[in-house]
Structure 1
Amino acid sequence: MANKEIDAQGYELEVVGQCKTNTRPNSQFTQQVEARHLWSYAQEEALVAVSEQGNGKCWHLITDPERRAKRIAARYADLYFASGEKSQGKLQLYWPALAAFVVKDIVEAYRYSRDEVLNGGWRNAMRTSFAPQVVAQLFTDGSPYEHSLRVYAALAKGNLWLFMDIYPWLWYVLEYGLNKDGSLNAERLTSHVSQRNAEEFQDQSKSAVKELPFGANWLGRLKGRMANDPVYAKASSYFDAAPAWGGMEAGYGQHLGSAYAAHRYVKQHIKEYDNGYHTPLSNYWPKFEEAFYVMDEERRELKRVADDSAATARLQKVAQFKVTGEMETTYRTLIEEYGVKPAAKFALQKSELNIIAAQEQINILQPLIYADPKLIKTMDVNHFISRASLGALSPTYTLYFSAAPRNDDPNRKITFDPATGPLDYFTGRKGSLPNPQDRMKYVGQIAEKFNNLMARNRAYMDRELQTIRGWLNA
């Protein structure tokens, strides 16, 4: 049974087991810790990365997906730098550098959803300023709120659970694959890579993983909260006195008055019933002009997600965190990379990037989010609109190699399925990002652009990554 100790700062430490020592000065004893415990520590590190301590000094998950994303981007950048520092340049994790830029763009995607779509405004007015049933009649592909919330939730789910899978694999290399003097413990990496299994984690770590957002337990609580939401019930009651809606008939003014009252009530009271279950977090909602309509769409989307038992089963399979062929190959590649000459090292780093990209996109994100038919439709609609409007009505799927949300240098960005000429803007999309073949083709293009920048302008890339690394306490 674990014993409890208190460190100098007053934090409670958990000590696994006990060991005896002797009284001889400077004596040492090497304790062989089982791989399953080391993997539990690695998972705990991922959990701590997206958590913060409350007044009781217990760790609590950061409920805001946007803040979590900034922490995740910073942790990836930190892996890139810390591995090079600890190994004295003999081994530097490479995929995390690219991942830091990708997650930085996810932070911007969240902001766009809030400020440019969910806040309302003239671009959405024609499709959202009527009662939701009228929107459904007029626009069978769904309102901007529906599409925006769907992407927001998918990003929140995919970003968190990808981090829970990938980060411990790579942190393990940094923490247990590299010795204190920077030398490589290849035997440990080779023998331990196959021993990661969530069911063998320490109890607290195992329980914490099971309570994370979009897991079965969290979704169960979400259903209960939505069923008993007093803010939604009260806001809905403002429509009770209004006459039945019949399109553009009499009663339009009363409906607008009821809607205004409902929006105002939601904005004033939404923070009273949240605790991290709203998407986005309730702190952002007072700026939403049509907050009740957003809430109405949010409830439909989250109920759809909570009722999707097949998606939940796929997440539970991912959450076992068992070894894949890609991660075994990654470990072999990293062992081979250690200490080789720069040209050979860079070639192996590029291989590392491609292998982990397959783990990321095919083994994790494909079952987690891209198998959702509704999300596929939403992303394809967004892509069609962005292509036809040159990004004016919906942003293109573009990765920017900068710490800033965007940059104007064509050599420091890359767009998915760009139009190739004037007529091509109107002939429709040629690719679908949720499609694994189309997405992996784009990932290959991203990797090529990234590799060129890292080879020719490493000083610039490192400066931008250091900026992102500075978000560790965001």
Structure 2
Amino acid sequence: MSGSLDWDSNTNTTENSCKTVQCDCLTFWEIYQQEAIKRVSNLKSANHYKLEPGYEARARRIASVYARIYLEQEISGTKLFRGRYYWMGLGAFASKTVAAIFKHGLTAWGYKWAPVISGAIGGVLTAPVINSMIRDPVHSFAKGNLWLFMDIAPWHYAWSASSASFKNCMKARKVSGFKHIKKEVENLPWSNSLSVIKQLGWTDQIEEGFGYLPDIENTFKRAGKTRNDNFKTASKNLFDHLMAIAVQEQYNILQELVWKEWKVQKQASLQRITGLPDSTLVLTSDYGVDAVKPNKQGQYKGRHAGVLSQLPETVYSEPLEGTQVEVYDSRIKWIKVAASKYHRLMQSDKGRDFLEKELGVISGWGDSKAEFKVGKDSNDGKI
């Protein structure tokens, strides 16, 4: 199925056929890698799946999983620990932003219609220019969105299942060593990324980020304490956990898979001039920042009317002046500022309640599907 988005899971569906199996470290990781692939796939029959081809739909599904992991609604989640996976809340809003970019008219024009237009014009130079300078960066962002998810979700699934097994098996995770679903993972779009991101293996940042969780969990399970007490006591560990995971995703994954590509860099330069599409991080389920900004009279309208004015601060973060998103040091500086805003909101009951309600909305996007036919020019040529 090298040219296909179809794949078969390794789940036993035969009734009354269970056998005791000793799960080694590689199998442990394969179980949760397969769960991640399932979340962005459509079940066709029995164990047969097809990866969701739509870029926006897939980004929405990924945002949904991140939200569900934060809310402890995913497999092996523990309601008592809701909020321990601090990055996941921010990650849900970030993947929602990626979905919004895929939805944006300019992106959609280059993504869906450029081949038709360029083909109709038939110019020798027109088609390559449109395809490479508009479409290729779109595919690059889809690649980064997918493989970041393939990296980060299984780490969280595994910790939720067994922190002891996570610690024992942490350094064993490596797709090249998989025995059961290696070909399924390697058949995903842009699987040549695996060699660039170390086969989804252990990094210092993963070890650091998850190293904060035991203390966070011990704080969250204290008897007689409010959630606000717990979030304030665990404040530093929560933020440090978030930033360690942020470095993992921004430096180890996205910088390598997306931002090093010269066409993406050119598009980033153009976006700074045009402001399109808008890259503001909005900490709600809304696609556009206008939904969370006051009007000229200083009033909030729409579904957030009467709510946003009660929060300790605004719920959006625009790039800092001079931010060059393609440059890691510049981008992470803005991300830390945005993360600090998220953190301050989470440190208040009103702010946390608001953010978690919005994450609840995003958590319901798990069945999102493309609203148009996705051709073989997308998803690394797989259909």
Same fold (TM over 0.5): yes
Corresponding residue number in structure 1 for 2:166 = 189
Equivalent of residue 60 in structure 1, options 47, 50, 73: 50
Corresponding residue number in structure 1 for 2:265 = 376
Q: Any idea what SS the aligned residue of 2:218 has?
A: coil
1:67, CA displacement in angstroms?
Answer: 1.7
Equivalent of residue 333 in structure 2, options 417, 427, 441: 441
- The whole-number CA distance in structure 2 between the counterparts of 1:160 and 1:55 is 23
Asked whether 1:403 is paired with 2:285, we answer yes
Corresponding residue number in structure 1 for 2:208 = 329
- The whole-number CA distance in structure 2 between the counterparts of 1:357 and 1:55 is 37
Q: Which amino acid is the alignment partner of residue 444 of structure 1?
A: K
Asked whether 1:198 is paired with 2:80, we answer no
Asked whether 1:460 is paired with 2:347, we answer no
Asked whether 1:215 is paired with 2:191, we answer yes
- Structure 1 residues 217-259: Cα deviation after superposition (integer angstroms, max 9, x where no partner): xxxxxxxxxxxxxxxxxxxxxxxxxxxxxxxxxxxxxxxxxxx
Q: Which runs of 5+ in 1 are unaligned?
A: 20-30, 178-186, 217-313, 387-393, 419-429
Equivalent of residue 365 in structure 1, options 231, 254, 258: 254
1:130, CA displacement in angstroms?
Answer: 5.8
Asked whether 1:344 is paired with 2:233, we answer yes
- Structure 1 residues 412-470: Cα deviation after superposition (integer angstroms, max 9, x where no partner): 1111134xxxxxxxxxxx33211111111111111111112222311110110000001
Whether contact under 8 Å (1:83, 1:174) holds in the other structure is no
Equivalent of residue 68 in structure 2, options 78, 81, 91: 78
Q: Which amino acid is the alignment partner of residue 162 of structure 1?
A: L
- The whole-number CA distance in structure 2 between the counterparts of 1:6 and 1:432 is 53
Q: Which amino acid is the alignment partner of residue 459 of structure 1?
A: D
Corresponding residue number in structure 2 for 1:156 = 142
Q: Which runs of 5+ in 2 are unaligned?
A: 1-9, 221-229, 294-313, 369-383
1:319, CA displacement in angstroms?
Answer: 5.5
Equivalent of residue 170 in structure 1, options 129, 144, 156: 156
Asked whether 1:316 is paired with 2:195, we answer yes
- The whole-number CA distance in structure 1 between the counterparts of 2:84 and 2:197 is 27
- The whole-number CA distance in structure 2 between the counterparts of 1:468 and 1:107 is 12
Whether contact under 8 Å (1:198, 1:206) holds in the other structure is yes
Equivalent of residue 473 in structure 1, options 354, 367, 373: 367
Change (3 A) 1:90 1:81: closer
Q: Which amino acid is the alignment partner of residue 453 of structure 1?
A: L
Q: Which amino acid is the alignment partner of residue 402 of structure 1?
A: T
1:473, CA displacement in angstroms?
Answer: 2.1
1:201, CA displacement in angstroms?
Answer: 2.1
1:334, CA displacement in angstroms?
Answer: 0.8
Whether contact under 8 Å (1:383, 1:396) holds in the other structure is no
Whether contact under 8 Å (2:71, 2:79) holds in the other structure is no
Give the fraction of aligned pairs with identical amino acids, expressed as a percent: 24
1:199, CA displacement in angstroms?
Answer: 2.5
Q: Normalised by the size of structure 2, how large is the TM-score? A: 0.75
Q: Any idea what SS the aligned residue of 1:470 has?
A: helix
Q: Any idea what SS the aligned residue of 1:431 has?
A: coil
1:93, CA displacement in angstroms?
Answer: 1.0
Q: Which amino acid is the alignment partner of residue 326 of structure 1?
A: Q
- The whole-number CA distance in structure 2 between the counterparts of 1:118 and 1:173 is 37
1:370, CA displacement in angstroms?
Answer: 1.1
Q: Normalised by the size of structure 1, how large is the TM-score? A: 0.62
Change (3 A) 1:114 1:325: closer
Corresponding residue number in structure 2 for 1:48 = 38
Whether contact under 8 Å (2:70, 2:82) holds in the other structure is no
1:195, CA displacement in angstroms?
Answer: 1.9
Whether contact under 8 Å (2:323, 2:334) holds in the other structure is no
Whether contact under 8 Å (1:46, 1:164) holds in the other structure is yes
Corresponding residue number in structure 2 for 1:291 = none
- Structure 1 residues 148-180: Cα deviation after superposition (integer angstroms, max 9, x where no partner): 312311111000000011110111111223xxx
Between 187-196 and 41-50, report the one with greater CA deviation: 187-196
Change (3 A) 1:4 1:339: closer
Asked whether 1:450 is paired with 2:346, we answer no
- Structure 1 residues 277-321: Cα deviation after superposition (integer angstroms, max 9, x where no partner): xxxxxxxxxxxxxxxxxxxxxxxxxxxxxxxxxxxxx54231611
- The whole-number CA distance in structure 1 between the counterparts of 2:260 and 2:367 is 33
